[in-house]
Structure 1
Amino acid sequence: MTTIDAASPLSNRTRGEDREWLSTAVDLAWRCPPAPGAFNVGALIVDADDRELARGWSRDTDEHVHAEESALNTLGPNHPRLSGATVYSSLEPCSIRKSRPLTCTQLIIASGIRRVVFAWREPSLLVEDCQGAELLREAGIEVVEFPEFEPLVKAANAHLFGDA
């Protein structure tokens, strides 16, 4: 899979703006209470006018909530500014989930969001084959990946790698 250029025709943001918002999402991952068998993830939703609409992180409202889910829950369904919004997440949105009926990928698709930027592809540590990026693209959502953020996201998840 190739990384999509953040300056693609669908995007009105520059790579620098994407990096700034993504850096905030990565910082939010540090707010997560570490849990065995769960990634620490931060996410935020930014509207087409470059204003933050919502933020969330894993386990911020309950022990099973994911970061993207938490941010979306803050806005509620059918929020009028979601169609032009971008989700920034420190980790690829999940495509398999045991704790809820819908995955973060399904929630994003259902929300009408047209763009997702993330830092690190979910490794096969907890889920055999996360396909969030592929499913989002198949749904017509622009997906942008910044793998250079991987070391920072890994550091926020040291508890899963025996580095904590």
Structure 2
Amino acid sequence: MRRAIALARAQVGLTGENPAVGCVIVSAGGVVVGEGATARGGRPHAEEIALDLAGAAASGATAYVTLEPCGARSSGAVACADRLVAAGVARVHVACRDPSPYAAGRGLERLAAAGLLGEVGLLADEAAFLYADYRPPGPAAR
């Protein structure tokens, strides 16, 4: 998770309205097979980048994500929680919950329903600075 926090830290202030997120995917053997951070302007998301790099090696792996993976996308694209499930990731650990009224809880619900949700709050104290100034867009109906 510390590596994911470092990846996100490098993107703070560069991701538009989106928060800076870091994601690291580690194989069952302990090898980092993919990593990413939210790109400039907010897209692609960290999980998308990490999963693309990991490819088939994501199957059975563990993902460490600094912010709850999105459970819905305003763009209509596949949500990161769904991408993690589809990739066959075995476990997802999350540092911080998403404060966005549009997204809060959706990703965690999807991961839990698929049996993938690991620890929520892993190194949350160390990751909290990433989202201290994050002001999500206005409320949206869930």
For 2:91, the equivalent position in structure 1 comes to: 115
Q: 2 CA distance for matches of 1:34 and 1:154? A: 17
Asked whether the equivalents of residues 44 and 87 of structure 1 are also in contact (C-alpha less than 8 Å), the reply is: yes
Conserved? CA contact 2:28–2:60, under 8 Å: yes
Aligned counterpart, 2:128: 154
% identity of equivalent residues: 31
- Extract unaligned runs of 5+ from structure 1: 1-21
The C-alpha deviation readout for 1:112-133, integer Å capped at 9, x for no partner, is 11100110011136x2533111
Instruction: Return the alpha-carbon distance in structure 1 between the equivalents of residues 70 and 111 of structure 2.
Output: 11
* 1:113–1:141 Cα contact (<8 Å) kept: yes
Amino acid across the alignment from 2:105: C
Q: In structure 1, what is the equivalent of residue 23 of structure 2?
A: 43
Post-superposition CA distance 1:56-97 (Å, at most 9, x none) = 00016x741111111011133xx1x32220000001111121
SS of the equivalent of 1:119 reads: strand
1:69 aligns with 2:48: yes
Asked whether the equivalents of residues 15 and 38 of structure 2 are also in contact (C-alpha less than 8 Å), the reply is no
Could you say if the C-alpha distance between residues 63 and 123 of structure 1 is closer, same or farther in structure 2, counting changes exceeding 3 Å?
closer
| Runs of 4+ with deviation above 4 angstroms | none
Task: State which of 98, 105, 113 in structure 2 corresponds to 1:130.
Answer: 105
Give the aligned partner of residue 27 of structure 1.
6
How many residues were matched structurally?
Answer: 134
1:86 pairs with 2:86: no
Q: What is the Cα-based RMSD across aligned positions, in Å?
A: 2.1
